Structure 1
C-alpha cells in the first residue's frame, strides 16, 4: 500500500529515516510505539494536506511486554538462576543504582551488575522509564519523582534521560544490539522487547537463549513476560474520554491507553507493557481501493475473538512473535474508528 506519488520537496509524513532520496514515496500507513505529539500531528497534517490526505490518526493494534533479560554468567562459575523473580523494589533499585551487585539479590553470586540501556530514542526506552518513574517512588522511598524521566513541566532534563549509573552501564543502539550486548556481557541485565528474547526470538538471533525475569506487578503477584500476560494487562481496558465518559471511536482518546498501561492492574498482568500503534490518515482520497483495503485489514485483524481459548489467525501470528491482542472493548473502539476513515475527498468525521 505504498506507491510513488509525485516528487515532493520534503519527506511526507510517516516516512522512516531510511527514505533519503527523491522521489519520496507516499506512505499510507506506519506503525509506532510512541503516541504522536501535537507537534507531530501538526507537521504531518501540513504535509498530508498538500497531497490531499486528511489529518493523521493513531489506533492501537497490539501490546507486548518489555522484558528484563539477563545473562546468567559463564558455565563453571556461580550463575544466576534460570528463573529469576524481582520485586518492584528490587528492579527499581537496580535501575536507580542502589543495587549494584547480584549478591544483594542472589546470595551466592558476588558479581557486579552491568546495565544495558538503549542509546537511541525509542518507544521501548520511553515506556520502560515512564513505568519506573511512576512506580519506583512508592516502591522505595529513597527514590524521588522524575529520577528516571525529566520533569517536562519545569523544562528540565532531556530525553531520554538515563540516571548516572556510576560507570557500570553498557549502551546499545537497537533492540538487536541490546540482545547482543546482554549475551556478550556476563551478569548483565537490560530492557528489551519480547520478540528479541526467548522464547520468541528466531533461531540465530542474539537473544535466543536469554532468560527474562519475572516481575512483581501492581497486585503483588509475579508475572511472566509472555503474550498472555501482556494481554492480561490490557484486556479490561475500556476507552473513555478525559471525563471518564465511554467513547467508541474518537482517535484523540487512544493516548489514554499509554497512561493506563504504565502500571496495569490485575493479578496476572505483566507490569511493563508497550503498545504498538497503527498510524493512518483519516482521509485517503487518492485511492478508494487503498483506503478500503486498510479498513478491511483492521476489521479482520481486530475481529472479536475469545482469546486465549480460540485465537484468530492474526492473533496466533502476533502471539508467536511475543505480542498480545487487545481486549474486546478496545477492539470494538478501534474497528469503529477505522471504519470512519473517509476514502473520498470529504472531511474527517469522528
Structure 2
C-alpha cells in the first residue's frame, strides 16, 4: 500500500498552492517532511472551512500518523472533485441532488454526512449605522432582486425609525463561484416569494443575480468586500462576519418575528425539523417557530461507500467520528450550530456503511 496519495487535473494545482500553506498546519517548506504519512485530501465548501481547518489541527495532535488537507474551493468544486474521484472526500453546503447522485460510480457509492450547521447572515457596511439594522422578509428579498437601490428607501426607513439611514446606493455582494451558501440563500428567498424561483434568478449554487451585483469568490471574499465597500450588503456564513467584526442585520422570520443570528435562534431553526430522511438530505428553506433564525443550512461531507484503500476508509472514519463527538463543542465555540443528538446518531449509522 502506498501511503502517499496523488491528485490529478486542475484540482492538483489548487491543492499545491492552497492546502500546504492554509490547511496543513505547517509552513509550505516543511509540509512534505514526512512523506511516509498517509495523506487524506478533501475539498469543497468554504462555509465550514474554518471549522474543518481547526478540526484538522486538533485531531492531528493526537493522531500524527495521518495528515489531512482541506481546500475551500466552493461546494460545486467539492461535488465535482468527489464525482471525478480526484479527492478522498468532498464537502458541500448543498447535499448532492438526484442528477449528481446518478453520476456516482456504483462501484464506489456515496455516503452524505451532515457534520455541522450554520447560519447565512446579511452583513452590511453603512456609514453611521454600526448596529441595529432590521430587515423585513420582503425588503431583503427586494434588496437582492435589485428593486431597492438606496439605503434610505421608505420601506427600510419604516422598519428602522430610530436609525439615521443615509441616501447612499445599495451595493449587493454575491458569490461568483459555485456555492452551497448561495444555494441556501436562494432556496430561502424562493420560500419567501415563489416568484424568485419561477420568474427570477432561481435556486442553485450559481445564479444570475439581477441588477448591479458585485460578485466575488468564497465566503471570505464576500466578507472582505463588504468590509471595504461603503453601502455594501452581502450574504455569508455567520462565522466569517464574526471574524471580521461586521455588523449583521436582524431578519424577520416566517412567524413575523425579528431575530438575530446566534446559538439559540440557530438551534431553534434546526429543532423545527423532526423527520430525518434516510439519506440525511435535510433542507430548512424557511424554518417554523417564533425563535427560529430564518436562513440556516446543514453542511455535508461526501464520502465513498467503498474505498480502494482500506487505510483511507479507516482514517476517515476515525477522524469523522471524532468530529461528530469531540468536534461539536468546537463548532459551537466558532459560531456554528452543533448537530442535534438525533442527527449525530443518524450520521454515525451512515458512517458505519463506509468500507
Fold match (TM-score > 0.5): yes
**How far is 1:190 from its partner?**
0.7
Q: 1:123 aligns with which of 180, 191, 197?
A: 180
* 2:353 equivalent to 1:340: yes
Shift of residue 42, structure 1, vs aligned partner:
4.1
Q: Give distance in 2, aligned partners of 1:176 and 1:97.
A: 23
Aligned counterpart, 1:33: 93
| Local SS of the residue matching 2:173 | strand
Evaluate the alpha carbon distance shift between residue 44 and residue 116 of structure 1 in structure 2; reply closer, same or farther with a 3 A threshold: same
Whether 2:241 is the aligned partner of 1:209: answer no
> Are residues 1:226 and 2:257 paired?
no
The answer to whether 1:268 aligns with 2:314 is no
Q: Name the residue aligned to 1:134.
A: 191
The offset of 1:285, in angstroms, is 5.1
TM superposition score normalised by structure 1: 0.70
1:275-319 CA deviation, whole Å, 9 max, x = no partner? Answer: 2101112123522x543443344444334xxxxxxxxx4222112
Aligned to 2:304: 281
Q: Do 1:215 and 1:222's aligned partners in 2 also have CA atoms closer than 8 Å?
A: yes
Conservation of the 8 A alpha-carbon contact between 1:69 and 1:190: yes
Offset of residue 3 of structure 1: 5.0
Out of 74, 86, 91, the residue aligned to residue 140 of structure 2 is 91
Residue 59 (1) aligns with residue 117 (2): no
User: Contact 1:237–1:330 at 8 Å: present in 2 too?
Assistant: no
For 1:150 and 1:299, locate their aligned partners in 2 and report how far apart those are by CA, in whole Å. Answer: 36
Change (3 A) 1:213 1:335: same
| Cα RMSD (Å) | 3.3
Aligned to 2:34: none
Q: Contact 1:63 / 1:275 at 8 angstroms: preserved in 2?
A: yes
CA apart distance, 1:14: 6.7
Separation in structure 2 between the aligned mates of residue 223 and residue 217 of structure 1, nearest angstrom: 7
> Counterpart of 1:278 in 2: which secondary structure?
strand
Q: Which residue of 1 aligns with 2:51?
A: none
2:313 aligns with one of 291, 294, 319: 291
1:187 and 2:231 equivalent? yes
Structure 1 counterpart of 2:62: none
Kindly indicate whether the alpha-carbon contact (under 8 Å) linking 2:111 and 2:351 is maintained by their aligned counterparts in 1: no
Equivalenced residues, count: 282
Task: Tell me which structure has the larger Cα radius of gyration.
Answer: 1
| Distance in 2 of aligned mates of 1:10 and 1:93 | 38
Say if 1:66 and 1:272, in contact at 8 Å, map to a contact too. yes
Question: Post-superposition shift, 1:330?
Answer: 1.8
Report if the CA contact (8 A) 1:130-1:149 is conserved: no
* Inter-CA distance 121–340: structure 2 relative to 1 (3 Å threshold): closer
Give the whole-Å Cα distance in 2 for the aligned partners of 1:339 and 1:36: 20
Q: Contact 2:182/2:205 (CA < 8 Å) preserved in 1?
A: no
Q: Which has the higher helix share?
A: 2
Answer yes or no: is the 8 Å Cα contact 1:120–1:174 preserved in 2: yes
Unaligned runs of 5+ in 2: 13-40, 45-72, 79-83
